[in-house]
Amino acid sequence: MFEHFYNEIFRSVIISFGSLFNGIEVHKKDADNDTFSIIKVPLSYGPTQKFLARMEQQADLNKPVQMTLPRMSFEFTDLSYDPSRKASQSQTFFKTESDGTKAKKVYLPVPYNMGFELSIMTKLNDDMLQITEQILPYFQPTYTLPIKMLGDLKETLNVPVQLENVSMEDDYEGNFDTRRALVYTFRFVAKTYLYGPIADVTDDIIKKVQVGYIAGQRGLRGTSYERDVTYKVVPRATKDYDGSEITTLAEDVDTTETVITVANGGSVTAKTYVYMGEEEIFVESISDNKLTVKRAQDKTTASAHVLGASVYSITSNDANFIDIGDNFGFDGSILWQIQIATLLM
In this prediction, residue 66 carries a pLDDT of: 43
Residues 179 and 229 in one domain: no
CA-to-CA distance for 17 and 9, rounded, in angstroms? 12
Q: What is the dihedral of CA 325, 326, 332, 338, to 10 degrees?
A: 30
Query: CATH no. for residue 74?
Result: 3.30.2000.40
Residues 303 and 214 in one domain: no
113 in a structural domain: yes
Residues 219 and 304 in one domain: no
Residues 213 and 274 in one domain: no
Q: Which residues pair with 101 in a beta bridge?
A: none
In this prediction, residue 112 carries a pLDDT of: 94
In this prediction, residue 114 carries a pLDDT of: 95
70-94 average pLDDT score: 81
Given a cut of 50, whether residue 334 has pLDDT beyond it is no
Residues 195 and 261 in one domain: no
116 in a structural domain: yes
pTM for the model stands at 0.54
38-64 average pLDDT score: 66
Residue 13: burial class (beta carbons within 10 Å; 0-12, 13-18, 19+): buried
State how many domains the chain has: 3
**Which of the four pLDDT bands, split at 50, 70 and 90, describes residue 56?**
low
Note the pLDDT tens digit of each residue in 151-179: 656 677 889 999 999 999 876 655 545 55
Which residue would you say has higher pLDDT here, 44 or 63?
44
Given a cut of 80, whether residue 149 has pLDDT beyond it is no
Q: Which domain does 221 fall in, by range?
A: 209-235+333-342
Note the pLDDT tens digit of each residue in 212-235: 666 555 555 555 555 666 666 666
Amino acid symbol at 192: T
Residues 227 and 190 in one domain: no
2 in a structural domain: no
Give the CA distances from residue 277 to residues 19, 283, 307, in Å, rounded to whole numbers and listed in that order.
21, 16, 13
318 in a structural domain: yes
3 in a structural domain: no
Last residue of one domain, picked from the residues 200, 227, 256: 200
Residues 220 and 166 in one domain: no
CA-to-CA distance for 37 and 227, rounded, in angstroms? 79
The number of helices, as runs of H, and strands, as runs of E, in the chain is 3, 20
Given a cut of 80, whether residue 122 has pLDDT beyond it is yes
1 in a structural domain: no
In this prediction, residue 195 carries a pLDDT of: 83
77-102 average pLDDT score: 71
139 in a structural domain: yes
Residues 72 and 189 in one domain: yes
CA nearest to 185, candidates 286, 52, 84: 52
Residues 131 and 97 in one domain: yes
Which residue would you say has higher pLDDT here, 195 or 94?
195
Given a cut of 70, whether residue 107 has pLDDT beyond it is yes
3-state SS assignment for residue 130? helix
Whether 41 contacts 71, CB under 8 Å: yes
Which residue would you say has higher pLDDT here, 197 or 15?
15
Its sign, for the CA torsion 276, 108, 235, 302, is negative
4 in a structural domain: no
3-state SS assignment for residue 115? strand
Residues 170 and 305 in one domain: no
Given a cut of 60, whether residue 117 has pLDDT beyond it is yes
Of 23-27, 48-52, 182-186, 268-272, which range is least confident? 48-52
Residues 145 and 66 in one domain: yes
Looking at every residue in the chain, the average pLDDT score rounds to 77
Residues 171 and 122 in one domain: yes
